[in-house]
Amino acid sequence: MANAGKLPRVILADDHTILTEAFRKLLETHCDVVASVSDGHALLDIAPALRPDVVVLDIAMPLLNGLEAGRRIKELVPTIKTYFFDDE
């Protein structure tokens, strides 16, 4: 995870802007939210470059669902922690 004294770097992945902003507000005092994306393909595009510590994923996103995106992101960035939620 993050180095001592540094906040964990987080990417939020959800297709609902309202939920993404709510998660950002909840996490911003405890984490460095480095990006938010609205689908699994966008997550796969951005995560290898940003190398976050954690990704918070909605399991039901368009184009590429969160479960499959989480599996693929672990292949690209093996140290990443993934946390899934279902907003339905």
Q: Which residue has the tokens 């709510």?
A: 22
Distance CA 84, CA 86 (A): 7
Class of residue 63 by CB neighbours under 10 A (exposed 0-12, middle 13-18, buried 19+): exposed
Distance CA 18, CA 57 (A): 14
Backbone angles phi and psi of 50, in degrees to 5: -85, -25
Per-residue pLDDT of the chain in tens (88 residues, 90 and over written 9): 445 569 999 999 999 999 999 999 999 999 999 999 999 999 999 999 999 999 999 999 888 999 999 999 999 999 999 999 887 6
Is the separation of the CB atoms in 51 and 32 below 8 Å? no
